[in-house]
A and B are shown apart, each in its own frame.
Chain A
Amino acid sequence: METLKLKYSLKDGDFSNAGNASSNIKKNLKMLGINAAVIKKMVVSIYEAEVNMIAHANGGVIEVFIDEEKIKAILADVGPGIPDIDQAMKKGYTTASEEVRQMGFGAGMGLPNIKKNSDDLKIESVVGEGTTLTITSYYKS
């Protein structure tokens, strides 16, 4: 099946470029003629995750695979990992430092928001090694 692949590297703490990957992904999705509402939700998810990776997880790599049915984003960081995924899925739960929160990040809405805006969210995490999110949106339904 025809697949378009996009890849972005994110540097730890690079707040000034936070959102650039999601902006570029959005541009590409628009050129594929995918429904605007689908794009909006997918980009909200990826943006959340992108900011998470820059703010809390030492950066990482975003890979996006788009085929004729779905958009799949794999976001792999090398951060501290999530000890309790169920707790992290609760609204308002945050491990962010005061400093990060003052910059407007780390309100504890991240993972719940990603979940809400995607058709499928898979979280794999190993404490001390990193977290990989796989966000999928089926645009052709």
Chain B
Amino acid sequence: MIKNEVFNHMIKIDEDQCIGCSHCVRVCPTEALRVWNGKATLDDPKCVDCGDCERVCPVKAIVVTEDFTEFRDETYHVALLPSVFWGQFSPDISRRRITNAIIEMGFDEVFEVEESVEFLSQELENYLADKKGEKTISSFCPAIVRLIQTRFPELVSSVAHLKSPVDISALHISRSIKKERGEDAKYQIFYVTPCAAKAAAIKNAHGDEKENPITGSVNMDVFYNKVTQLLQGNEEEEGEDIEDNLSGKSVGWSLRGGEGNHIQGRCLSIDGMNHSIEFLENIDKEEFKDIDFLELKACDQGCAGGILNPQNRFLCVESLKKRAMQNDQKQNPLPDLLLEEKDIQIEEIEEMSVLALDSNPSQALKMMNKTRRMMCYLPGFDCGACGAPTCKSLAEDVAKGNAILSHCVFMQREMEKHHRLSPEHAFNIIESIWGKDRLDKDCNKKGAINDYS
């Protein structure tokens, strides 16, 4: 069940690193960021963990919190890896050698997330048949699901109420461990995550161990470094490589178009947050009427573009496509999974709208009108000097009582002209947004005379 009193976010701002440059504020697709006191500040309910802020941060101040607990002794440890992880490595490094490195880290088993894709895609096909042509949106990308919950609550019922491969695979793993090692067997399953949203989804599912047996997540960049270090010391072994059991189509599930590949009906595949938002805003339009399945992924190129992928996303896509072609020729038998149809259903996806200016519509009406009145004064440049991404977002902040009109530097000039604001006061306002002494000469800042980076 995707339901939480408090939604756990994995995107965090490291205030010690943050230089308050506002790059993140400008790109956040849900306008969840502001600069205040010289630092980026995140409005948690609005954040969907898409990671677009991390891509533009010049000082690595946007971090993905790790949800890793130490290995417990006498426990069976499983590393659950998405196929994009395998796509990080050059093709001349064998699966056996990478697997050996992971075992060396202390894991007992390596399992690929996409092993449950064939099972899921059959269920998805049945699910779509039941919907009889009603548009269904994929539940695969947790940033997109969260986006729909918070900004498109009217579409929550259109999201496929089916779990994603990572949860399905974890369920199979936990059952197979119990089957082989006894009902009381202790185990830990760690998911190696390519992005913040997947890590957040796992964190939010905690508390129901039977349904969600994943112990925690490890950031893929960290995991990749560890594996690569271990690869330095281990040579290729003679003999056969480990069997690659995925069907060709399963390999690319997490890439753009990967889900659509499995679907008989008409499917549209969209990647990137802004493209997805634009589409969701226009979903009712006539031209989209006959689409059965919508595959939306927050990252460009799907999961290969996740912010924790250490390698270039296009090389990863190339590598996975090659692997898919090779596997296509092999005609692998379907993996035998300890799963039933009912295991992969999601009971409820909750509406969690963050758009309302106020929970009371009559109060919201007043705020909406105030926002529009404020827009009569603001210049409409969207310069960001107020610490908000657009004039409209400042106007909304003013209407909500979170900001004042004189946060706008152009409004300040206007007020100074009419002697309603002293230059000292105006300067104090700037410092309250951008930080004390922020306008002092600093030859060490990025691009300045002492910067050689």
Q: Is B55 an interface residue when CB atoms closer than 8 A count as contact?
A: no
B282 and A19 contacting across the interface, CB-CB below 8 Å: yes
Q: Is A93 an interface residue when CB atoms closer than 8 A count as contact?
A: no
Number of interface residues of B (CB under 8 A): 27
Chain B residues within 8 Å of A88, by CB: none
Please report which residues of chain A, range 36-55, place their CB below 8 angstroms from some CB of chain B when the two chains form the complex: 36-37, 39-40, 43-44, 47, 51
Q: How far is the CA of A22 from the CA of B281 in the complex (A)?
A: 10
Q: Is A2 an interface residue when CB atoms closer than 8 A count as contact?
A: yes
B356 and A31 contacting across the interface, CB-CB below 8 Å: yes
Chain B residues within 8 Å of A66, by CB: 365
Point out the residue from B153, B281, B353, B368 that lies within 8 Å of A28, measured CB to CB. B368
Mask: chain B, 306-338; 1 = CB below 8 Å from A; 0 = not: 000000000000000000000000000000000
A71 to B: closest C-beta gap in Å: 10
Chain A residues within 8 Å of B372, by CB: 4
A2 and B366 contacting across the interface, CB-CB below 8 Å: yes
Q: Is B446 an interface residue when CB atoms closer than 8 A count as contact?
A: no
A36 and B353 contact, Cβ closer than 8 Å, known pairs A22-B284, A23-B281: yes
Chain A residues within 8 Å of B151, by CB: 30
Q: How far is the CA of A139 from the CA of B361 in the complex (A)?
A: 10
Q: Is A27 an interface residue when CB atoms closer than 8 A count as contact?
A: yes
Q: Is B358 an interface residue when CB atoms closer than 8 A count as contact?
A: yes
A43 and B356 contacting across the interface, CB-CB below 8 Å: no
Closest to A27 in B: B281
B284 and A19 contacting across the interface, CB-CB below 8 Å: yes
A2 and B286 contact, Cβ closer than 8 Å, known pairs A23-B281, A32-B357, A33-B353: no
A36 and B351 contact, Cβ closer than 8 Å, known pairs A19-B286, A44-B284: yes
B357 and A31 contacting across the interface, CB-CB below 8 Å: yes
A68 and B355 contact, Cβ closer than 8 Å, known pairs A18-B286, A28-B368, A32-B368: no
A32 and B356 contact, Cβ closer than 8 Å, known pairs A67-B365, A68-B361: yes
A33 and B358 contacting across the interface, CB-CB below 8 Å: yes
Q: How far is the CA of A22 from the CA of B351 in the complex (A)?
A: 22
A40 and B154 contact, Cβ closer than 8 Å, known pairs A32-B361, A33-B361, A34-B361: yes
A105 and B286 contacting across the interface, CB-CB below 8 Å: yes
Mask: chain A, 79-113; 1 = CB below 8 Å from B; 0 = not: 00000000000000000000000011100000000
Q: Max chain B CB contacts within 10 Å: which of A30, A37, A66, A67?
A: A30
Q: Is A3 an interface residue when CB atoms closer than 8 A count as contact?
A: yes
Chain A residues within 8 Å of B365, by CB: 2-4, 32, 66-68
Chain B residues within 8 Å of A67, by CB: 365
Please report which residues of chain B, range 270-312, place their CB below 8 angstroms from some CB of chain A when the two chains form the complex: 281-282, 284-287, 289
Chain B residues within 8 Å of A27, by CB: 281
Point out the residue from A22, A23, A36, A139 that lies within 8 Å of B154, measured CB to CB. A36
Chain A residues within 8 Å of B355, by CB: 30-31, 33
Closest to A20 in B: B282
Q: How far is the CA of A18 from the CA of B285 in the complex (A)?
A: 8
Chain A residues within 8 Å of B360, by CB: 33
A35 to B: closest C-beta gap in Å: 9
Q: How far is the CA of A4 from the CA of B359 in the complex (A)?
A: 17
Q: Max chain A CB contacts within 10 Å: which of B351, B361, B366?
A: B361
Point out the residue from B282, B285, B287, B368 that lies within 8 Å of A4, measured CB to CB. B368
Q: Is B232 an interface residue when CB atoms closer than 8 A count as contact?
A: no
B273 to A: closest C-beta gap in Å: 17
Q: How far is the CA of A67 from the CA of B358 in the complex (A)?
A: 15
Q: How far is the CA of A44 from the CA of B151 in the complex (A)?
A: 18
B356 and A23 contacting across the interface, CB-CB below 8 Å: no
B362 and A2 contacting across the interface, CB-CB below 8 Å: yes
Chain B residues within 8 Å of A31, by CB: 355-357, 364, 368
Q: How far is the CA of A31 from the CA of B358 in the complex (A)?
A: 8
Q: How far is the CA of A90 from the CA of B357 in the complex (A)?
A: 40
Q: How far is the CA of A124 from the CA of B287 in the complex (A)?
A: 30
Chain B residues within 8 Å of A47, by CB: 284
Chain B residues within 8 Å of A34, by CB: 361
Q: How far is the CA of A47 from the CA of B154 in the complex (A)?
A: 16
B154 to A: closest C-beta gap in Å: 4
A95 to B: closest C-beta gap in Å: 18
Chain B residues within 8 Å of A3, by CB: 365
B427 to A: closest C-beta gap in Å: 34
A12 to B: closest C-beta gap in Å: 17
Chain A residues within 8 Å of B364, by CB: 31-33
Closest to B287 in A: A104
Q: How far is the CA of A22 from the CA of B282 in the complex (A)?
A: 9
A140 and B351 contacting across the interface, CB-CB below 8 Å: no
A2 to B: closest C-beta gap in Å: 5
Q: How far is the CA of A40 from the CA of B154 in the complex (A)?
A: 7
Q: How far is the CA of A57 from the CA of B364 in the complex (A)?
A: 35
Q: How far is the CA of A66 from the CA of B372 in the complex (A)?
A: 14
List 6 additional A-B contacts (Cβ < 8 Å) besides A23-B281, A32-B368, A67-B365. Answer: A4-B369, A27-B281, A31-B357, A36-B153, A36-B154, A47-B284
14 A–B contact pairs at CB < 8 A? Answer: A3-B365, A19-B285, A23-B281, A28-B368, A30-B153, A33-B353, A33-B357, A36-B153, A47-B284, A68-B361, A103-B286, A104-B286, A104-B289, A105-B286
